[in-house]
């Protein structure tokens, strides 16, 4: 727990360590609301649109998470950026996302994500399964949150054929120096899956999990 100072003008000074943990750099906007216990709850405000999962989209994304036989993975990577749907799936069911989160540390694989991805996962869990929000909080503690990318990188992601809600995800993965972006969203990322985009692999959950398991097998 940290001590924050409120000035006479109503300015709140948040310790830099906490801002860094949230992936917030420089000037930023926050959503502020009253918590049930009477305190204030602050969250980074999403600058870009967030997807709200319809029932059709929910089934589509969860199908990508279902545990089945894994394909051979052509890559052995150590810095993986997780899309919002991966975080969501890990808190929804026992599947590939949960397995990836469990096995990655054993394989010395660093898992990354962004405030934008976390907020999309949070909003959808809050709407559909609020009791799973505790799971998302535990994931926050195990995954490194990196800063959002500048608009210039988001524009480059848009040029790759992504909608505005997804471009910040690809851009943040680039900025973080990730080796791969892991997503279950074939509808919007399908044309990039299995490819390297500006040095970054875009892979499915199955491919990412197969790669992590391959690293564990290599270690014996």
Give the pLDDT of residue 70. 53
- Using alpha carbons only, give the angle 106, 107, 108 rounded to the nearest 5 degrees: 90
Enumerate residues 6+ apart whose C-beta is below 8 A from 178: 79, 80, 81, 112, 200
Give the pLDDT of residue 161. 97
70 versus 220: which is more confidently predicted?
Answer: 220
Alpha helices, DSSP H only, in 13-114?
Answer: 16-22, 55-65, 84-92, 96-103
User: Mean of the pLDDT values across residues 130-145?
Assistant: 95
Alpha carbon distance 189, 208 (integer Å): 15
Q: What is the mean pLDDT of the chain?
A: 88
Enumerate residues 6+ apart whose C-beta is below 8 A from 20: none
Q: Are 114 and 144 in contact (CB under 8 A)?
A: no
Domains of the chain, first to last: 5-44 (2.10.260), 55-219 (3.40.50.1010)
Q: What's 25's DSSP letter?
A: -
User: Mean of the pLDDT values across residues 133-152?
Assistant: 92
Give the pLDDT of residue 15. 85
Per-residue pLDDT tens over the stretch 73-85: 556 789 999 999 9
- CA 202 remoteness from chain centre: 14
Predicted structure pTM score: 0.77
Residue 174 has pLDDT above 70, yes or no: yes
Give the pLDDT of residue 9. 83
Alpha carbon distance 65, 5 (integer Å): 43
- With 0-12 / 13-18 / 19 or more C-beta atoms within 10 angstroms meaning exposed / middle / buried, residue 33 is exposed
Enumerate residues 6+ apart whose C-beta is below 8 A from 195: 201, 202
Tokens of 71: 């394909």
Give the pLDDT of residue 130. 96
Q: What SS3 string covers 129-192?
A: CHHHHHHHHHHHHHCEECCCCCHHHHHHHHCCCCCCCCHHHHHHHHHCCCCEEECCCHHHHHHH
Per-residue pLDDT tens over the stretch 90-120: 999 999 999 999 999 999 999 999 999 999 9
Per-residue pLDDT tens over the stretch 15-70: 888 877 666 666 666 767 677 777 887 766 556 788 999 999 999 999 998 866 55
Give the pLDDT of residue 182. 97
Give the pLDDT of residue 68. 65
């Amino acid at each position: 727990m940290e001590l924050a100072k409120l000035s006479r003008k109503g300015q709140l000074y948040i310790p830099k360590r906490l801002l860094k943990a949230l992936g917030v750099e420089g000037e930023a906007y926050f959503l502020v609301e009253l918590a049930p216990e009477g305190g204030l709850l602050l969250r980074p405000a999403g600058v870009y649109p967030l997807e709200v999962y319809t029932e059709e989209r929910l089934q589509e994304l969860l199908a990508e998470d279902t545990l089945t036989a894994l394909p051979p993975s052509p890559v052995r990577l150590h810095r993986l950026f997780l899309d919002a749907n991966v975080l969501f799936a890990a808190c929804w069911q026992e599947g590939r996302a949960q397995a990836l989160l469990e096995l990655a540390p054993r394989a010395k694989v660093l898992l990354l994500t962004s405030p934008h991805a976390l907020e999309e996962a949070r909003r959808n869990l809050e709407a559909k399964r609020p009791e799973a929000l505790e799971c998302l909080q535990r994931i926050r503690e195990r995954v490194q949150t990196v800063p959002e990318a500048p608009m210039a990188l988001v524009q480059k992601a848009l040029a790759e054929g992504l909608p505005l809600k997804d471009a910040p995800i690809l851009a943040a993965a680039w900025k973080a120096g990730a080796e791969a972006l892991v997503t279950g969203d074939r509808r919007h990322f399908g044309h990039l899956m299995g490819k390297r985009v500006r040095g970054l692999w875009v892979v499915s959950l199955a491919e990412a999990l197969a790669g992590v398991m391959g690293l564990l097998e290599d270690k014996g």
